[in-house]
Structure 1
Amino acid sequence: MSNEIAPTTARLQQDVAAAETSVDDTLITISTLMSSVVAARRDTPGVPVVKGHATIRRLATAQLALVDLSGDIHRVHGDLVDIGRETAGYDLHECPKTAGTNVVPLSAVA
Structure 2
Amino acid sequence: MALTVTAATARFNREMMASEAAIADALVAATSLMHTAAIAQRDFPDAPVIQSQSALLHLNKMLASLIESRGEAARVHGQLRDIGREMGATEIPFCPDAEATLPLAERAA
Q: Residue in 2 aligned with 1:67?
A: 67
5+ residue gaps in structure 2? Answer: 98-109
State the Cα RMSD in Å.
2.2
Which structure is richer in relative contact order (CA contacts within 8 A, separation 6 or more)? 2
Runs ≥4 residues deviating over 4 A: none
2:6 equivalent in structure 1: 6
Q: 1:56 to 1:14 in 2, by over 3 A?
A: same
Task: Specify the alignment match of 1:108 in structure 2.
Answer: none
| Structure 2 CA distance for aligned equivalents of residues 62 and 3 of structure 1 | 36
Equivalent residue, structure 1, for 2:96? 104
Residue 81 of structure 1: aligned partner = 81
Which residue number in structure 2 is paired with residue 36 of structure 1?
Answer: 36
Structure 2 CA distance for aligned equivalents of residues 21 and 32 of structure 1: 17
Q: Deviations over 1:48-67 (max 9, x none)?
A: 11111110010001100111
Rounded to whole Å, the distance in 1 between the matches of 2:48 and 2:80 is: 48
- The alignment of Structure 1 onto Structure 2 pairs a total of residues equal to 94
Q: Deviation at 1:104? A: 3.2
TM-score (norm 2): 0.77
Per the alignment, residue 21 of structure 2 pairs with: 21
Cα offset, 1:90, TM superposition: 3.7
TM-score, length-scaled by structure 1: 0.77
